[in-house]
Structure 1
Amino acid sequence: MAAPRRDTRGIVDAAELFARVRFRRREPAEPLRPYLEHYWLIDWDLPEPYASHVVPHPSVNVVFQRYTGQNPVDFGEVAGIGLDLFTQKLEGRGRVCGIQFRPGGFRPFVPGRALTSLTGERLALHTVFPTVDAATVPSVLDPADEDARVAALDAFLLGLGPRPDPQADLAMALVDRIRGDRAIRHVGDFARAEGMTVRALQRLFAAYVGVGPKWIILRYRIHEALSRAEASGPVDWAALAADLGYADQAHLVRDFTATVGVPPTTYATTIH
């Protein structure tokens, strides 16, 4: 695994978010790196409420959260792949310690469980991991020292004993290829290039990732469009649509609007 990525893909108006919260990514312990993208840590102390928005990656996240104020609460949850724009209202003071798994990387921690059972769900930690001790959540959230929080996340995951799984390795590798190669546009062509039938590829992704390969191709297109919209300078949307494999600009605008809530030109104007 390389160092945690530095891009802001998927975060809507990342500059605004980073101006309001402390956001960091940290690397997990060596034995966990094959399965994880990174840890992500957020702390905030806000004079007024703020809503953050994210176009989710095709990743499962385990999230430990603390909210202080009138109704203080600590909790841990497993968040399956979000199909829609995710909005989180932040207010007062709080802290989040999150674990973002590589697409396919969560399955070794829940062997035998089809990942489609988590898609679109946010489940209490103990419902997915019944043996996890109740002290786990405060052990992650309590330390003032950031390194101690990262060590607690390592201890939590290592205690689960992920089991090596060649099919999980295959799923992770295939999603990495989709993410890194914009020329991959059609599931049938991709399956043939990998020596698989479309049905076998779909079954693998359902069991080990939680969404199908077509959904992942489309989601990474939107991430790329978001990134281009946030860059300085005008965007040639027709050219970008062609680069991303859309039939025309109208199809890109439709997908972007359905996912983010506004057309790409409106979004680009709003954040600049």
Structure 2
Amino acid sequence: MDSPGLGRGVLHPARAAEAISVDRLAPDPEVARFVEFYWLVRWDRRGLPPYEQKVLAHPNVHLVFEAPRARVYGVDRSLFVRRLEGAGHVLGVKFRPGAFRPLAGRPVVALADRSVPAAEFFGPETDRLNEEILGAPENPAALADAFLRPRLPAPDPVAEEVAAVVDRITGSPDLRRVDDLAREFGVTLRRLQRLFAEYVGASPKWVLRRARLHEAAERADAGSEVDLAALAADLGYADQAHFTRDFTAAVGTSPARYAGGACRAAPGVVPRGGASAGSE
């Protein structure tokens, strides 16, 4: 079992750590071709008010074992909010970017911003497994491995290609433009957009912008003073105002307010790269 913290995308992680615990569980090597990791969230709010956790989602499809039924969640392009009360736990399967397309048998853009019962993809056995996992077994990852292993299709080279593009975006803060990304991978911009719709469920521009906002939230959560103008420039925004608009639209509050007043506004910014983050 690996416990690396709550991870990027979980907003206000210090506050969240007081309300929930999160563990990452490694999948079986054969399953790991499709699954990045399992995540196990536990909470106990008995005698306490309900707690709402907000998450800036990643470009991944998730299979979640939860009450009352297991569900498959597509990429949430808005702000994901989960209300927790009482005591309980859920187990999530984080599929690698693009990896759910061979399992789904159809473009995953149809799942964007929605969830469906997992039985639609994995059959009625999913509901029985859901009951087992919610029964607090000692090794829920082993149960998930045993369930997924015989259901995995043959590797899809296109899915692996798409995963490499997503990894390039999320691991490269120097990347500014989607058309630069298309040239780097030797595809047209139109083909890249089609691949992302079919395999990811969100556009490459959205993935690039979301990666920058993950970086921004992580820096704002670091506990030290943040120069908003410098941060906007580091993330490739043409100006601080554009960065503030993007952050506020995604998170629901301005970066200065999110950081609890720790951010320091500056009067200007020197553009880097000549374009706003995510521009095509």
Q: TM-score, normalised by structure 1?
A: 0.90
In structure 2, relative to structure 1, the CA distance for the partners of 1:133 and 1:260 (3 Å cut) is: closer
Contact between 1:4 and 1:38, CA under 8 Å: does it hold in 2? no
The Cα of 1:135 is off from its aligned counterpart by: 1.3
CA distance in 1, matches of 2:142, 2:240: 47
User: Stretches of 4+ moved more than 6 A in 1?
Assistant: none
Q: TM-score, normalised by structure 2?
A: 0.88
Alignment pair present for 1:32 and 2:26: no
In structure 2, relative to structure 1, the CA distance for the partners of 1:106 and 1:195 (3 Å cut) is: same
User: Which string of whole-angstrom CA distances, capped at 9 and with x for unpartnered residues, describes residues 188-228 of structure 1?
Assistant: 11101111100111111111111111110000011000000
CA distance in 1, matches of 2:114, 2:121: 11
Contact between 1:4 and 1:37, CA under 8 Å: does it hold in 2? no
Q: Give ranges in structure 2 of 5+ residues lacking alignment.
A: 264-280
Match of 1:186 in 2: 177
Equivalenced residues, count: 260
Alignment pair present for 1:122 and 2:121: no
In structure 2, relative to structure 1, the CA distance for the partners of 1:5 and 1:190 (3 Å cut) is: farther
Alignment pair present for 1:101 and 2:100: no
SS at match of 2:241: helix
Match of 1:161 in 2: 152
Match of 2:22 in 1: 23
Contact between 1:109 and 1:163, CA under 8 Å: does it hold in 2? no
Q: Give ranges in structure 1 of 5+ residues lacking alignment.
A: 67-73
Match of 1:69 in 2: none
Once the two structures are aligned, what percentage of the paired residues are identical?
43
SS at match of 1:88: strand
Alignment pair present for 1:9 and 2:8: yes
CA distance in 2, matches of 1:264, 1:200: 34
CA distance in 1, matches of 2:3, 2:60: 15
The amino acid that maps onto 1:64 is: F
Match of 2:56 in 1: 55
Equivalent residue in structure 2 for 1:255, among 240, 246, 249:
246
Equivalent residue in structure 2 for 1:227, among 218, 221, 228:
218
